[in-house]
Amino acid sequence: MYIVSSKLKIVVLGYIVRGPLGGLVWHHLQYLIGLKELGHEVLFLEDSDDFAGCYNPETFELSENPKYGLDFLKRIFTKFDLQNNWAYFDAHTNTWYGKSKQEIFLFCENADVVFNLSAVNPLREWWAKIPSRVLIDTDPAFTQIRHLTNKKDFAEAKHHTAFFSFGENIGKPYCTIPADGFNWKPTRQPVVMDIWKEAKPMATEKWTTVMQWDSYEVQQYDDRIFGMKSMSFKQYECLPCLMPSENFELALGSITAPVNELINKGWHIINSLIPTKTPWSYQEYIANSKGEWSVAKHGYVGSNSGWFSERTLCYMASGKPVVVQDTGFSQTIQTGKGMFPFKTIEQAVEGITNINKDYKYQCQAARKFVEENFASQQVLLHLLNRIF
């Protein structure tokens, strides 16, 4: 059993230098900050892998050059007193940034646990022998399908000693995520409440969300389709017409998005890179919203995964109520205060209507919901307790 007073050395594998965007970075930071606040020694470690994969949102290009992402990371980590808690390995030039190779190897030799967030880093010798190697699945159904259809992904997954998923219904009779042979346990996104200030209620502003229309190709397994948000959105595209007194905005990415069609149906569209330029622009965008309305990936919904969005939690922690598509999370989380799930367009309309009846109360209830269910201390302690 994990002892709260013990100090652990923890490696967190993630994706910031290669994906320097203001929304994605909060997912990783809240693990690092939360673990550090619990008294543990943390190290963020990222690996370029062996292909060109560093994204520059100013040039819209992928390249082997990590400069933009490194500068992005340095600014943010310094802000949170983590400037000495990171390293990036550039496999193309065999170069280490941040901590030196010797420091990394020494830390990993003495580390107690590694959290592999989303499995977006390749298996490397410097962390593969850490005693507790924890795979955190943030993309339920799609992760399991990759393990079932890709021998390399399956082989790398086998090197882990514990498996946790944001799909909280995984393994339950009513969840149809394909079984890949690993013993998945449910976990949640930790939210560090102190970094999300309660924003002013904005009852006259827009319902917003930040989304990719198509994140990657639709997956098929065992004669079943697991699609993207584009497949979920179709039945809700007339929402602005049904609620003309409300304003709806999509901060939208993906070249496949039917922008003109959505505009004609009453949606206001902006480029998703505008609010996600930095972590602070992301927070500002949320703070200036009325709340979030959003669909989820078709694969999350169809499998009844129980997945809950870390982006939605950012809205709620900021005191913004949400109306979001139900992926089956309503079977494990109490809803109806600050957060209203929907499975039909009628339920989406009803959720917005209920929030409008007492908007200020729903703003307060949204933040309280996160404090009670996703606060970093309780989430991370619960996670560690099931590892040791």
**Domain CATH for 279:** 3.40.50.2000
Q: How far apart are CA 115 and CA 161, in angstroms?
A: 11
Q: What is the mean pLDDT of each successive set of 10 residues along the chain, which is 388 residues long?
A: 71 97 95 98 96 87 93 97 98 96 97 97 94 98 98 97 98 96 98 96 96 94 95 97 98 95 98 96 98 98 98 98 98 95 98 98 98 97 94
pLDDT in the model for residue 52: 80
- Same-domain pairing of 185 and 330: no
- Same-domain pairing of 123 and 164: yes
Q: Is residue 293 part of a domain?
A: yes
Q: How far apart are CA 345 and CA 354, in angstroms?
A: 14
pLDDT in the model for residue 2: 45
DSSP per residue, 331-369: GTS--SSSEEEESSHHHHHHHHHHHHHTHHHHHHHHHHH
- Same-domain pairing of 177 and 312: no
Asked if 352 and 246 count as a contact pair (C-beta separation under 8 A), the reply is yes
pLDDT in the model for residue 5: 53
Q: How many domains does the chain have?
A: 2
- Same-domain pairing of 251 and 312: yes
Q: How far apart are CA 278 and CA 292, in angstroms?
A: 19
Angle at 54 between CA 276 and CA 133, to 5 degrees: 90
Residue 176 dihedral angles phi and psi, to the nearest 5°: -110, 25
pLDDT in the model for residue 60: 85
pLDDT in the model for residue 1: 43
- Same-domain pairing of 166 and 213: no
Helix (H, G, I), strand (E, B) or coil at 87: strand
26: domain range? 9-192+374-385
Q: How far apart are CA 267 and CA 259, in angstroms?
A: 9
Q: What's the pTM value of the predicted model, to 2 decimals?
A: 0.96
Token code pair at residue 241: 């017409």
